[in-house]
Chain A
Amino acid sequence: MINIRNFSRTFGSHKGLDNISITVRPGEMVALIGASGSGKSTLLRHISGIMAGDKGGGDIRVMGRIVQEGGSIDRHIRKTRAEIGMIFQQFNLVGRLAVLTNVMLGSLGRVSIFKSLTGRFPRAVQEAALEALRRVGIADKAGQRASTLSGGQQQRAAIARAMVQRAKVLLADEPIASLDPESSRRVMDLLEELNRQDGVTIMVSLHQVDYATRYCQRTIALRAGQVVYDGPSSALTPAVLKDIYGAASEDMFGEELFAETDEPAMAEVIPQPYRPGLCAGAAA
């Protein structure tokens, strides 16, 4: 579904993404974790073709279609983007437009420009938008301006927009980073539902590791633009996390989590590391 091969992106002398290769199969829900600045956002924005990688720096395909290759974004990117839903940390709704209009904008990829620019969205789109709002539980807000909604409600509206888009792949960039725990749970439940019921392939970057282990079977971890872990979320042990997050990790997870590192039983479940050199160092 998502194929990334030897992909790199350099910002000046800083390697934003460093020779990344990832394959996501249809129907998977994958968590993307890593410290701030590790490249999670950058990777997702490159998969949706909003940013272009280095010249000669690998390729990205989604659903078999080329998104970008060797640093240039494909000419038919709009067609591909229409298949890729994107959820953002700041929701990225148009605040002054009604919630329903925002959700209907999900259809821009398939509705003719003459209809959209004159504001005449087909009846089917209007109905799909209302249905999506019902599914995410904010149908009663359809007529309000998006800016009047709470953060959690705005994120659910953004998910409704991706539903109207009929996206087969959903990229969620820190969707719950600015939400309270209750809203976070509802948003993650919705993503899980989309994945299980509708078969949408989901890649979601997360700040909190516990959400990754609870909602996603597979986790990919980035550090300094490199994949340092790619495997089952259940095998994310404190030792692995320490390796992923480096020195900052103790602040994030607290001392007690790392106290367990010394127990020999934990050492045995450390998974086959994606990059043996890095993980072996942490286990030693």
Chain B
Amino acid sequence: MLKPGLNKRFINMFFAALGLCVVVWAWQGTEMDMSALLNGSANMAEMLSGFMQPDFTDWRYYVEEMVVTVQIALVGTLLAIIFSVPLGVLSADNVVPWWVYQPVRRLMDVFRAVNEMAFAMIFIAAVGLGPFAGVLALFVHTTGVLAKLFSEVVEAIDPQPVEGIRATGAVAMEEVAFGIIPQVLPLWISYSLYRFESNIRSAAVLGMVGAGGIGFSLSEQLRSFNFGATAAIMLMIIVVVVIFDLLSQQIRKRFV
């Protein structure tokens, strides 16, 4: 009885040591430097004092940019939802054969693996600077995320109602429309709203690479050390994000 206990303790210690090694390795790789924090404290203090006096002189311009930001998020998410409905169904293994869902899923993996910012830079190269590139970036990345979430909901449905509809002589499209969609709709709506929330957060930084919205002003003001204006923009972003989070939470509650 003693031996298995000892073995287990040894294994636990081994994994604890391994975990510690990984942390040390990552710490060194990131050039963690506490002295830099201390040496930079003067800069930080200056920044903070700037932040303490938000500069709202250009607020009209910021509001315009904020509206564009929300518009980017809205259009990007909407396009993603429209495309995620068929792509989500086509990635569900209980609806289509493997030679359909495997390629579709891999394509969605690619869409999801590349960050919105990276997509934004790619689309800027294609369609030029501006909000359109931002919309395309959010659209592609969000499609990858939503199609996966949608398909997971489809895979968890109760197959019996679908069988009931199949037995009436319905075609495949009708099986999906009447057997699957009614079952998955509440969760699909909930996920879509959640993605809209997070896309507003993403859209707020897309401008940093030139893909439209408030992010451009944010990075410009930060680069010219206008900490007051930076603080004003950040406050506006926080207020808008919080408002939309609360709003979408309230709507989501009604569907789940």
Contact B164 A78 (CB under 8 A): no
Contact B164 A108 (CB under 8 A): no
Chain B residues contacting A116 (CB-CB under 8 Å) are: 170, 174, 177-178
Given known pairs A94-B161, A97-B182, the reply for A105 and B167 (CB within 8 Å) is no
A154 shortest CB reach to chain B, Å: 11
User: What are 25 A-to-B residue pairs whose CB atoms are below 8 Å?
Assistant: A48-B167, A50-B166, A78-B170, A81-B166, A84-B167, A86-B164, A86-B167, A88-B160, A92-B160, A94-B165, A94-B179, A94-B182, A94-B183, A95-B182, A95-B183, A96-B182, A96-B185, A107-B168, A108-B170, A108-B178, A109-B168, A109-B170, A113-B174, A161-B164, A165-B168
0/1 interface trace, chain A 78-93, chain B, CB 8 Å (1 if under): 1111111110101111
CA distance in complex: A46, B4 (Å): 54
0/1 interface trace, chain B 169-201, chain A, CB 8 Å (1 if under): 111011001110011010000000000000000
Is residue B163 contacting chain A, with contact meaning CB distance below 8 A?
yes
Contact B171 A92 (CB under 8 A): no
Contact B161 A95 (CB under 8 A): yes
Please list the residues of chain B having a beta carbon within 8 angstroms of any beta carbon in chain A. Answer: 160-161, 163-171, 173-174, 177-179, 182-183, 185
Contact A93 B173 (CB under 8 A): no
Please list the residues of chain A having a beta carbon within 8 angstroms of any beta carbon in chain B. Answer: 48, 50, 78-86, 88, 90-97, 101, 105-110, 113, 116-117, 158, 161, 165
Chain B residues contacting A105 (CB-CB under 8 Å) are: 165, 168, 170, 178
Chain B residues contacting A101 (CB-CB under 8 Å) are: 178
B83 shortest CB reach to chain A, Å: 18
Chain B residues contacting A80 (CB-CB under 8 Å) are: 169
CA distance in complex: A101, B163 (Å): 16
Chain B residues contacting A86 (CB-CB under 8 Å) are: 164, 167
Chain B residues contacting A85 (CB-CB under 8 Å) are: 167
CA distance in complex: A48, B160 (Å): 15
Further pairs besides A94-B178, A108-B169: 17, Cβ < 8 Å: A50-B166, A78-B171, A79-B169, A86-B164, A92-B163, A94-B164, A95-B182, A96-B185, A97-B182, A101-B178, A105-B170, A106-B168, A113-B171, A113-B174, A116-B174, A116-B177, A165-B168
